Amino acid sequence: MTPAALTQAAIELVDAIAAAAQAGGAAADTLIARYFATRRYAGSKDRRAVRDLVYRAIRAAGEPPASGRAAMLLVADGDPALAETFNGSVHGPARTAPDEPRAAPGAAPAWLVERLEDSGVSDDAMAALVGRATLDVRVNSLKARRATLTIPGAEPTPHAPAGLRLPSGTNVETLSEYRDGLIEVQDEGSQIVGAALAAAPGQRIIDLCAGAGGKTLQLAAEMAGAGEILACDIDRARLSRLPARAERAGATIVETRLLNPGREAEMLADWQASADGVLIDAPCSGTGTWRRNPEARWRLNADRLARYAAAQQHVLKVGAALVKPGGALAYIVCSLLDEEGADRIAAFLAANPGWQAEALSLGAGAPRGAGVRLDPASDRTDGFFVARLRAPC
């Protein structure tokens, strides 16, 4: 494909991605894969180049752009070679008109910038939220030690004891260490907050919002494969991926239980007030993971955010009832917004006298409300809020 044709393809894709984000449609990666499935003439180098342009445009435009072309022109303003591809050639974009509008630059839509500012998120952290993510894996201590793994280009992550940072673009799934369950893809921030429960061997632990089990497998490793973990979720597709991952990781103490929304307490009656620890990796807006899905900030609106807060309050209530007297509850969201993090914990503590927030020393992050917050500017991780609460005895 010619450079102009690459630009045109990227413009078409940004159009589709912006429309889908606002209509609750497919994610950018899915749309890019679909686009190329019907354009076999594009080689792998072309696909990489288009994908790179698409993500540069998504990252640059804070508000959903009026068009893919307006977003690409914004990027072209800082890239003369890209600007030259607006040359009116056969498969390329039309020439730029005088005073043609550009998409609005920024880290996020204005209403979200305001909410992030209200949550004490600095300009640097906001800009880093849409930067490029690192590629981190967690060494599975059930099968391996970080010090003895020799993955080309891998460096220990600065804070998480089992983390390795791989060169960007590494195809992890082709590594024998991955196939043999010695490593799992997991951002360093996720490893740091996942350790906040401080689960120990022999304990009975519930991972209430386990999804496909990223943190369940971490808990199993921290527990040295001794004890019991019940991994739950309301999403059948996600939870069904966990048993195969657990088998690969040698995590034999994990059982799964699919919950019906609204009937969680009933379906967990056998675990009421009996868990040593409950991990709640709550459903959230994912503002902390925009580095990986920058179009997600075009997807969010105030109603959705309010629904997340209600869901968070709900899972906190369900999870707290499962903790035994004196047991621990760790609450995590991959968001920097107080309304999903610090405010949810403040509301829980106000409504549940006797519960106490504990000080956390995670080696990263900064105090926020009753918990700790990690951000991509200070910690070079995805953004997270985490708090650990102790149940009354």
Smallest separation (angstroms) from ligand SAM to the CB of 238:
5
334 annotated active-site: yes
What stretches of the chain show up as alpha helix (H) in DSSP? 3-23, 28-37, 44-60, 68-76, 80-84, 110-118, 123-129, 176-179, 188-194, 214-222, 236-239, 242-249, 264-267, 296-299, 302-320, 342-351, 376-379
Active site residue: 209, 232, 334, 393, which one? 334
Binding site for ligand SAM (CB under 6 A): 208-212, 214-215, 232-235, 238, 259, 261, 264, 281, 283, 311, 314-315
CA separation for the pair 86, 77 (Å, rounded): 11
Whichever of 81 and 310 has its CB closer to ligand SAM, that residue is 310
- Check if the beta carbon of residue 202 is closer than 8 Å to that of residue 175: no
The side-by-side arrangement of strands in the sheet containing 163-166 is: 155-156, 163-166, 135-139, 183-185
CA separation for the pair 180, 249 (Å, rounded): 8
Smallest separation (angstroms) from ligand SAM to the CB of 21:
19
Whichever of 259 and 391 has its CB closer to ligand SAM, that residue is 259
Whichever of 83 and 265 has its CB closer to ligand SAM, that residue is 265
Whichever of 68 and 283 has its CB closer to ligand SAM, that residue is 283
Whichever of 233 and 379 has its CB closer to ligand SAM, that residue is 233
Smallest separation (angstroms) from ligand SAM to the CB of 208:
5
46 is in an annotated binding site: no
In the chain, % helix, strand, coil (3-state, to 5) comes to 40, 15, 40
Query: Amino acid identity, residue 302?
Result: A
77 is in an annotated binding site: no
Strands 275-281 and 183-185: unpaired
- Residue nearest ligand SAM, Cβ-based: 214
Smallest separation (angstroms) from ligand SAM to the CB of 255:
15
Which residues contact residue 362 at a Cβ distance below 8 angstroms, ignoring those fewer than 6 apart?
A: 159, 192, 193, 195, 196, 372, 386
Smallest separation (angstroms) from ligand SAM to the CB of 17:
22
b/e code 253-276 from CB counts within 10 Å (16+ = b): bbebbebeeeebeeebeebeeebb
User: Residue ranges for the binding site?
Assistant: 233, 281
Q: Which residues are catalytic?
A: 334
User: Residue ranges for the binding site for S-adenosyl-L-methionine?
Assistant: 233, 281
